[in-house]
Amino acid sequence: MLAGKRILLVIGGGIAAYKTLDLIRRLRERGASVRAVMTGAAQQFITPLSVGALTADHVFTDLFDRQDEQDVGHIRLSREADLIVVAPATADLMAKLAQGLAGDLASAVLLATDKPVLMAPAMNPAMWGHPATRRNRAQLLADGMLFIGPNRGEMAESGEAGEGRMAEPLEIVAAISVALGGGPLAGKHVLVTSGPTHEPIDPVRYIANRSSGAQGAALAAALRDLGARVTFVTGPATVPPPAGVEVVPVVCWLLGFVGLMY
């Protein structure tokens, strides 16, 4: 579904920048072409040389580069892509975009684009939970930006745990497929139910089954990849839900659907 698609990857300055190398590889093996813009901070974590080797293209780093900007390169970059992905989307980049700032190449490209933008945030949990970051996210959502993540987990740079890990490369790939809206099921909304049920007998005991949720998760992922918008209602399964779908967790199907009705 990504064959022939043009992705512009804006790499922000965070330790999660290393994941973008795998993201580029995953996109290219699916037939997409990738061009990259790197902030100055991103170059403190990975190099333009490594990014360029994987994209097989020039890596753009400077708003005032004489050669790149002789034909207003940042405008051209922002318009030639089918989708712009910001990964990692740092608190700084989110704040710049929410306020309409354009003081470097990355923010200028994002302000000048008329294409969809997918943000993959990554930052310390305290930064992600800060009121300023929450306000910026709300503003970006109102402006039509799309988001994938962040996930919960341990932070690489501090040993802290919480919400702030950048989504994994395959999760971002799935979100890109959904954002581009391709596939024979584009425009369709599909409801998938999955996983075991826990029907309570009393406060201690319940009736259950041995479903792992694997089949439902695989079905939801396949529908998502075909372009459908998927709502995934899942019991307490051992297999995690796929990325890029709306997850509605329930414990008891009967009580869960009653709750959804109200």
Annotated catalytic sites, by residue? 209
Between CA 17 and CA 44 the distance in angstroms is: 10
Residue 100 · residue 93 · CB < 8 Å: no
Q: 234 - beta bridge partners?
A: 194, 249
Strands 151-154 and 161-165: antiparallel
71 CB-near residues (< 8 Å, 6+ apart): none
Between CA 110 and CA 74 the distance in angstroms is: 9
Cis peptide before 169 (omega within 30 of 0): no
Query: Is residue 201 helix, strand or coil?
Result: coil
CA-based nearest residue to 36, from 8, 63, 12: 8
Between CA 250 and CA 151 the distance in angstroms is: 20
C-alpha 87 chain-centroid distance: 8
Between CA 78 and CA 224 the distance in angstroms is: 27
